[in-house]
Chains A and B, each alone.
Chain A
């Protein structure tokens, strides 16, 4: 990865960032930059180093090598934290305080004047539909309500940069959609958003660019659409037959790179979808089978993600 030059248009700059836990290198000399106003996705399988990276950038843990800055301030410094809002993975609000008191406490920690905090707090809780429940203890909130409250806590200081670690993980569809809509409108007002997620569809729909991290190293950074299209050999073709067939037999067809069974369907990946369709028709005739459905699909971001992370593992 090339080193990133200091630039006032950048909200986040990371150079050779490294974190070790004993002999394990959790984050291995990663470098990237996020422009101001960008919605940047950080994708990777479990244990890839996403949360460790976000914790170093938000100053929760120290770094063992390299450097990082937020809006020009050293990551982890009080100045960097002051311009940052954070929604950590698995974080909780104080369950023995009301939603409102959690919000006002966070405002005090950011030095937001009391009157402004009250106005902004009411506005945020209205926006996420929690205002009528603001005086209830957080222990009475559902998971989705807690996550919406924590997002409000991250926004109470009107930060320039937002770090969100799996913000919609495990949420109901309504809460996830509400949070994603809010992220879009926040980004439209110029806020920089750094988002880690497992959800490829979410990343594809929200992010301007995504970085894919695997085993502590960044394996790709690009716009989701470009990443999707650069995945050669990963065009999916889905087929189902009148009777079950052996996936091994399908894997032997010309040009097939991978076969996956999806219920009564088979998803085959190839660089030449046209030739594969012809081969499937010939195969069904010779095996005395009827093709129930046959679809050629465009490669998804998920296909790109799987291809890139598997390539690294090999």
Chain B
């Protein structure tokens, strides 16, 4: 037990090293940061202009979109880039499990999402909106960032060495999810079939908790939202590790 605990800790440290490497190579570039912020902001504004919505309604949606887009922006392309750049084989020959490599890539997206999410939080506070449950919102942002980063990593499972292919797969899934997650129209206003579709998106639960914490009301009880977000996170992480372990040797 001691040995397996020590090995798990050792592998976690190596995941963190991989995350630091990813941040240095992929995330610390100006255009990535700017694009991660600007793209969701402009998409959001294009839907809001001309509609009379309150700050309390808008900001949870903006927070959800920014976190969702930033945490899933780079994670789909890291493994294809490693394949294309011929760095993956060296990485795989090091004493790291495939799961360690995948967790490292997810951690980098997670950290990037967390840092960028501070921007809409600051905007929310600057616009005079109050955060009624900061601890719950912080927990939700942490869980949401991890959940979305794990989802982003799923898009790179097909063993392609073309980052554009992984990005295309990601876009096909990400954009519909944004429209069905109660960001632009609250869940209360959706018909029952619309609500049923909304429940298959993890972003729905994140946005609902953010509305609880910022607007003071949501559609689903917070505990259910948190459990759903946790369940999605576990599902995505499990699929990431299992499916990447299968396809990773086929990239070489």
Q: Which residues of A contact B (CB under 8 A)?
A: 55, 58-62, 78-79, 81-82, 84, 86, 88, 90-97, 101, 105-106, 108-111, 150, 153, 163
* Residues 77 to 124 of chain B near chain A (Cβ within 8 Å): 85-87, 89-97
Of chain A, the residue at the smallest CB distance from B252 is A60
Select one of A59, A108, A153 contacting B90, CB under 8 A.
A153
Q: Quick check: B89 and A88 within 8 Å, CB to CB?
A: yes
B85 contacts A59, C-beta separation under 8 Å: no
Chain B residue nearest to A78 (CB atoms) is: B95
The reply to whether A58 and B93 contact each other, CB–CB distance below 8 Å, is yes
Q: Does B171 reach chain A (CB closer than 8 Å)?
A: no
Closest to A57 in B: B93
Cβ–Cβ contact A91 & B90, under 8 A:
yes
Minimum CB–CB distance from A97 to chain B (whole Å) comes to 6
| Interface of B toward A, CB cutoff 8 Å | 7, 10, 13-14, 17-18, 20-21, 24-25, 85-87, 89-97, 249, 252
Are B21 and A97 interface neighbours, CB within 8 A? yes
Least CB separation from A52: chain B residue: B252
Do B97 and A78 touch (CB < 8 A)?
Answer: yes
Nearest B residue to A84 by beta-carbon distance? B93
Task: List 15 interface pairs A-B (beta carbons < 8 Å), by A numbering.
Answer: A55-B89, A60-B89, A61-B252, A78-B95, A82-B95, A86-B93, A91-B89, A94-B85, A96-B24, A97-B21, A97-B24, A97-B25, A109-B96, A111-B10, A163-B93
Once bound together, how far apart are the Cα atoms of A93 and B88, in whole Å? 10
**B249 interface neighbour in A62, A84, A95, Cβ under 8 Å:** A62
Q: Which residues of B have CB within 8 Å of A96?
A: 24-25
Closest Cβ of chain A to B101, distance in Å, is 10
Q: Is the CB of B92 within 8 A of A60?
A: yes
Once A60-B252, A61-B249, A111-B13 are accepted as A-B contacts, the answer to whether A94 and B93 lie under 8 Å apart by CB is no
Given contacts A62-B249, A96-B24, A97-B24, contact A110 B94 (CB under 8 A): yes
* Smallest beta-carbon distance B225→chain A, Å: 37
Question: Which residues of the partner chain A approach B93 to less than 8 Å between Cβ atoms?
Answer: 58-60, 81, 84, 86, 88, 163
16 extra A-B contacts, CB within 8 A, seeds A55-B89, A60-B92, A94-B21: A55-B252, A60-B89, A78-B95, A81-B96, A86-B93, A91-B86, A91-B87, A92-B85, A92-B87, A93-B87, A96-B25, A97-B21, A108-B13, A109-B91, A109-B94, A110-B94
Determine the chain A residues whose CB is within 8 A of the CB of B96 once the complex forms.
Answer: 78, 81, 109
Q: Give bound CA distance, A106 to B97, whole Å.
A: 14
Contacting pair A78 B90 (CB below 8 A): no
A contact residues around B92 at 8 Å (CB): 59-60
Taking the nearest CB of chain B, how far is it from the CB of A194, in angstroms? 13
Shortest 3 CB-CB contacts between residues of A and residues of B: A108-B17, A81-B95, A86-B93
Query: In whole angstroms, how far apart are the Cα atoms of A60 and B97 in the complex?
Result: 11
Provided the pairs A78-B97, A96-B25 are in contact, do residues A150 and B249 lie with their beta carbons within 8 angstroms? no
- Choose from B7, B24, B85, B86 the contact partner of A78 (Cβ within 8 Å): B7
Distance from B106 Cβ to chain A, minimum over Cβ atoms (Å): 17
Most buried by A among B7, B20, B94: B94
Residue of B nearest to A83 (CB): B95
Chain A residues with CB under 8 Å of B252's CB are 55, 60-61
Does the CB pair B24–A109 fall under 8 Å? no
Q: Which residues of A contact B95 (CB under 8 A)?
A: 78-79, 81-82, 109-111
The residue among B85, B95, B249 with the most chain A CB atoms within 10 A of its own CB is: B95
A98 to chain B: closest residue by CB: B24
Closest chain B CB from A297 CB (angstroms): 40
CB distance from A199 to the nearest CB of B (A): 22
- Give the CA-CA distance A34 to B205 in the complex, in Å: 58
A94 to B18 CA separation, bound complex (whole angstroms): 12
Whether A88 lies near B21 (C-beta < 8 A) is no
Complex: how many Å from CA A91 to CA B18? 18
